[in-house]
């Protein structure tokens, strides 16, 4: 059973359980970094959470608009990601899985939160700097040679991310280390809003500052440049392994992975990033093989890098093969694809009802809600 700690006392006041929310961009077929860092932990949370825990997993396609792409490609990648979420083990009867853009309240709450978000805080966020490959001390108003201009959507990305989370009154949010800063920002926005609009008539604050669940898997690095994170944006397809890759693809990519000329196997991310990345992948795919990546490297200390790569490839194949089969069945079988669409519609309705209730109360509190709805919300203060 997942040990998440109790839901915040100010969450709902109706005695129900925890609420988990997380999102992933529609980048098409996920790679190992997506699977180990996000998707597998989502499945674990689903399978081990208490029965009264609600789970919302969103394909955050509005976030994907910060990088322009052909409409037909974005539509295809949304479908591929939806199929992948079910292929890795999420269950439609247990988790609510939907596309962010299908719930207009995400954008509505984002605007409301934007009106109190600090430019100073946003300028210190790492996301936009990372996307533009800028130094940590970069200013949003700098003019950098040979760099595209900073767009408002990318700069305000953390506000939309905060709206995603707060909209569903999430008590817990699973994130990787690189997103922990954004979750703290969301907590700050919730606290500021609650301070401004809380009043004695409400049994609990309007927005819930969620708790963080850090993913146990660290960053999975590129196979061709192990100093960089594995990414779909890398032009070289050999840099990543997809959950749809065949056995031959996995062997070929792992065999071609960059290592070094040092004899033996040791774990040192700084001195031996390529070998260490292979050890990390094997350990995170199956942590029963050793108590830590360091111990796993010790077990393999006299092994050749060729033999290490063979073991890593076998471990990946063992775990990916059933996922690959389920993914191909969902994406290549028309009746199965139609089932995905029906499930998406049903889950979108669930997400919309919950999102509308939150936005209705928020609007009533700030003075732009319908008076009748406002009075009803104040009297009942119950949530879906």
Instruction: Single out the catalytic residue among 44, 131, 218, 311.
Output: 131
Instruction: Single out the catalytic residue among 44, 218, 228, 229.
Output: 229
Q: Distance between terminal CA atoms of the chain?
A: 24
Cα 202 from Cα 84, distance rounded (Å)? 41
**Three-state SS sequence of 241-286:** CECCCCHHHHHHHHHCCCCCCCCCCCCCCCCCHHHHHHHHHHHHHC
Q: Are 237 and 207 in contact (CB under 8 A)?
A: no
Cα 65 from Cα 247, distance rounded (Å)? 33
Cα 19 from Cα 282, distance rounded (Å)? 32
Cα 91 from Cα 49, distance rounded (Å)? 13
Instruction: Single out the catalytic residue among 218, 232, 311, 378.
Output: 232
Residue 129: active-site member: no
Residue 305: active-site member: no
Residue 131: active-site member: yes
Burial of 51 (0-12, 13-18, 19+ CB in 10 A): exposed
Q: Are 11 and 171 in contact (CB under 8 A)?
A: yes
Dihedral sign of CA atoms 207, 67, 62, 320 in order? negative
Catalytic residues: 131, 229, 232
């Amino acid at each position: 059973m997942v040990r998440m700690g109790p839901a915040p006392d100010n969450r709902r006041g109706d005695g129900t359980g925890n609420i988990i929310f997380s999102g992933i961009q529609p980048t098409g077929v996920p790679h190992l970094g997506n699977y180990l860092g996000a998707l597998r932990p989502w499945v674990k949370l689903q399978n081990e959470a208490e029965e009264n825990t609600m789970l919302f997993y969103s394909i955050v396609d509005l976030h994907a608009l910060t990088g322009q792409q052909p409409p037909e490609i974005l539509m295809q990648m949304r479908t591929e990601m939806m199929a992948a979420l079910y292929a890795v083990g999420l269950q439609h009867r247990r988790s609510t899985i939907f596309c962010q853009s299908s719930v207009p309240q995400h954008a509505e709450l984002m605007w409301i939160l934007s009106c109190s978000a600090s430019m100073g805080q946003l300028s210190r966020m790492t996301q936009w700097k990372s996307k533009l490959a800028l130094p940590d001390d970069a200013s949003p108003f700098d003019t950098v040679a040979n760099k595209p201009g900073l767009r408002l959507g990318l700069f305000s990305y953390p506000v939309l991310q905060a709206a995603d989370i707060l909209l569903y009154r999430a008590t817990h949010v699973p994130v990787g280390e690189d997103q922990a800063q954004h979750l703290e920002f969301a907590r700050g926005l919730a606290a500021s809003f609650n301070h401004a609009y809380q009043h004695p008539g409400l049994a609990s604050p309007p927005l819930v500052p969620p708790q963080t669940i850090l993913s146990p898997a660290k960053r999975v690095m590129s196979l061709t440049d192990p100093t960089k994170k594995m990414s779909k944006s890398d032009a070289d397809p050999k840099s990543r392994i997809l959950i749809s890759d065949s056995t031959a693809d996995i062997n070929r990519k792992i065999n071609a992975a960059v290592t070094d000329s040092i004899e033996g196997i040791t774990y040192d991310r700084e001195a031996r990033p390529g070998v260490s990345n292979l050890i990390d992948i094997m350990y995170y795919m199956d942590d029963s093989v050793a108590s830590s990546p360091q111990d796993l490297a010790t077990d393999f200390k006299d092994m050749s890098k060729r033999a290490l790569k063979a073991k890593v490839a076998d471990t990946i194949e063992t775990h990916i093969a059933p996922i690959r089969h389920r993914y191909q069945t969902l994406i290549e079988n028309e009746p199965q694809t139609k089932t995905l669409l029906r499930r998406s519609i049903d889950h979108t309705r669930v997400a919309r009802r919950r999102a509308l209730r939150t936005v209705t109360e928020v609007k009533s509190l700030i003075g732009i809600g319908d008076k009748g709805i406002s009075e009803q919300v104040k009297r009942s203060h119950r949530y879906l």
